[in-house]
């Protein structure tokens, strides 16, 4: 019985090829589908992109990415993550900045992923750059703190309080987050603020 695979089954096969790193098989599936269908669905396009990225075929991934007419947030995320994983953070940031041009709104997961990934490669300054006009202070603070940049984390928190992006959640003194911030203040010789946080006064965090 001749049963043609649907988009879901093709996407599953492509994802499997990516996880196994068998780009040859993935290209064969991609080619077979492209010959049968004049227009690839967004589901299949994203699966093709994911497959090439996981196989570290970034030129092919970029080729496929450029041919997605209307990119979903997942398309941008896959491409940016792939570039970062392959230690090409500058290109990742270029794609991130291009994403903001057509008015696509990045979600907090993508913002955190981009910053954390750039920070893990030692590009803390680059990781700070794309967030100047975006309220993703948590990702910035966590990235600095996790990479032993306590002073920058505290300064970032202070800037958050004074910025146009005020914190949106209040933490009471019983919350463990208070003590994390207090530790940062203490390490950076900010004892007065440290005592204020533990004394029972509430603080604000993003």
Tell me the pTM: 0.62
> Which is nearest to 33 in space by CA: 46, 48, 54?
48
Highest mean pLDDT among 11-20, 98-107, 146-155: 11-20
Taking the domain 135-206, which CATH number applies? 1.25.40
Binning pLDDT at 50, 70 and 90, where does residue 175 land? very low
Residues spanned by CATH 1.25.40 within the chain? 135-206
Task: Give me the torsion for CA of 16, 79, 82, 121, rounded to 10°.
Answer: -160
Give me 87's structure tokens: 């230690």
CA–CA–CA angle 77, 119, 167 (5° rounding): 80
Provide the percentage of residues in the chain whose pLDDT is more than 70: 50
> Hey, how many other C-beta atoms are within 10 angstroms of the C-beta on 2?
3
């Amino acid at each position: 019985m001749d049963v043609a695979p649907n988009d879901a089954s093709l996407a599953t096969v492509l994802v499997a090829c990516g996880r196994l790193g068998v780009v040859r098989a993935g290209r064969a599936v991609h080619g077979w589908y492209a010959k049968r269908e004049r227009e690839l669905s967004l589901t299949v396009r994203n699966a093709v992109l994911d497959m090439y990225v996981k196989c570290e075929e970034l030129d092919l991934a970029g080729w496929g990415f450029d041919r997605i007419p209307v990119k979903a947030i997942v398309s941008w995320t896959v491409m940016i993550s792939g570039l970062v994983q392959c230690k090409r953070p500058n290109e990742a940031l270029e794609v991130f900045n291009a994403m903001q041009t057509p008015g696509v709104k990045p979600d907090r997961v993508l913002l955190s992923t981009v910053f954390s990934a750039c920070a893990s490669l030692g590009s803390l300054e680059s990781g700070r750059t794309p967030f100047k006009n975006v309220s993703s202070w948590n990702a910035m603070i966590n990235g600095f703190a996790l990479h032993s940049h306590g002073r920058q984390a505290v300064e970032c928190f202070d800037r958050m309080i004074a910025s146009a992006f005020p914190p949106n959640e209040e933490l009471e003194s019983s919350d463990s987050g208070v003590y994390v911030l207090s530790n940062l203040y203490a390490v950076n010789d900010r004892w007065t603020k440290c005592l204020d946080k533990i004394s029972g006064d509430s603080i604000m965090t993003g």
